[in-house]
Amino acid sequence: MPADRRRRPREILVTGGAGFIGSSLALECQRLWPSARITVLDDFRSGDFHNLEGFQGDVVAAAAHEYRGGPRFDTVFHLASLTDTTVHDQLAMVRDNVEGFRRILEIARESRARVVYASSAAVYGQASARMDEEMTPKPANVYAFSKAVLDNLGRRAAADGLRVTGVRYFNVYGPREQHKKAAASMIYQLFLQMKAGKRPRIFRPGEQTRDFVHVNDVVAGTLLAAAKGANTVYNLGSGKARSFNEVIRILNQAMGTKLVPDYFENPYGFYQEFTEADLTRSRRELGYRPAYPLEVGIPDYLKALGA
């Protein structure tokens, strides 16, 4: 995973660091900067200690909105969040996501720290064209709404002098997501079904598309945002929408199977039929170049799963 080595953080906080992307990021920071002091903050409701195998830093077991701070950090990666889009408890979602970020911004302001926070492609809502960062947010569920509010808070904090960059993750998949179970990526869900010899179940007609992006790519982009990012938001995706039918074809190829999809009707009214990241800004300002198209990323993931 490439990163700009000109900027070497000394004191790093990774919130949500026992989660899927957070643990991958914390371990990559440890690899890149072995002399840095890295603190993981996680309340372990959706994180898992197995994800931190080999981690040599500190772990604080607390929610972001309850955290009272530790050493003076120079870099804060804020990934802690309720990420299950099927959660409809608006109070819980907004309290955890919004108030957690507000607290992290306070800590960063005290430390004069660089902040990179996780936003989401979900803020774009229903769209039929490539999604660029200047599009007006149209969140279709409370999770997406909470992420749109984070973007608002980030802009306000930047206007007040804090260095704040948002990264909008698209449909991330890859190692260390298995603990998420039903909330893990569709690529993982389909793999489990096919490994069990079952036909992979997807919404009819399977031509709905997603910008599937490997976790290694978003970690690399997040580190680039810390090194080079302006006070704005950046899309981190693959830059290419792929259908669920294509995903199943590539899984079949990688697994040596010939399972045909089991189509069923979509019961969700807020479902995104299409996501695709416009990477113009990320490429120009960060030098972000995703390296894992599905034809590379899925076999890499299956290898990590021991399949």
Q: What pLDDT digit, counting tens, does each position of 146-177 carry?
A: 999 999 999 999 999 999 999 999 999 999 99
> 39-93 pLDDT, tens per residue?
999 999 989 999 999 999 999 999 999 998 888 999 999 999 987 767 778 998 9
Q: What rounded mean pLDDT belongs to the chain?
A: 94
Mean pLDDT of 233-249: 98
pLDDT above 90 covers what percent of the chain? 87
Write down the pLDDT at residue 4: 45
Write down the pLDDT at residue 307: 83
Write down the pLDDT at residue 7: 67
Above 50 in pLDDT, residue 19?
A: yes
Write down the pLDDT at residue 268: 78
Under the banding of pLDDT at 50, 70 and 90, the label for residue 270 is low
Above 90 in pLDDT, residue 5?
A: no
Q: Any catalytic annotation for residue 180?
A: yes
Mean pLDDT of 85-109: 90
Distances (CA, A) of 299 to 41, 45, 216, 242, 302: 31, 30, 14, 16, 5
> 182-205 pLDDT, tens per residue?
889 999 999 999 999 999 999 999
Mean pLDDT of 219-239: 98
Minimum mean pLDDT range among 36-40, 62-66, 231-235: 62-66
d(CA 92, CA 300): 36
Write down the pLDDT at residue 249: 98
Give me 122's structure tokens: 């979900």
d(CA 12, CA 52): 16
> How is the chain split into domains, by residue range?
11-169+214-238+274-290
Give me 129's structure tokens: 């064209």
Catalytic residue among 124, 143, 188, 292: 143
Give me 143's structure tokens: 């999770």
d(CA 291, CA 254): 18
Write down the pLDDT at residue 140: 87
Above 60 in pLDDT, residue 181?
A: yes
Q: Any catalytic annotation for residue 303?
A: no
Under the banding of pLDDT at 50, 70 and 90, the label for residue 3 is very low
Instruction: Note the pTM of the prediction, 2 decimals.
Output: 0.94
pLDDT above 70 covers what percent of the chain? 97
Q: Residues 139, 159, 227, 51: is their CA dihedral positive or negative?
A: negative
**Homologous superfamily (CATH) for 11-169+214-238+274-290:** NAD(P)-binding Rossmann-like Domain (3.40.50.720)
Under the banding of pLDDT at 50, 70 and 90, the label for residue 2 is very low
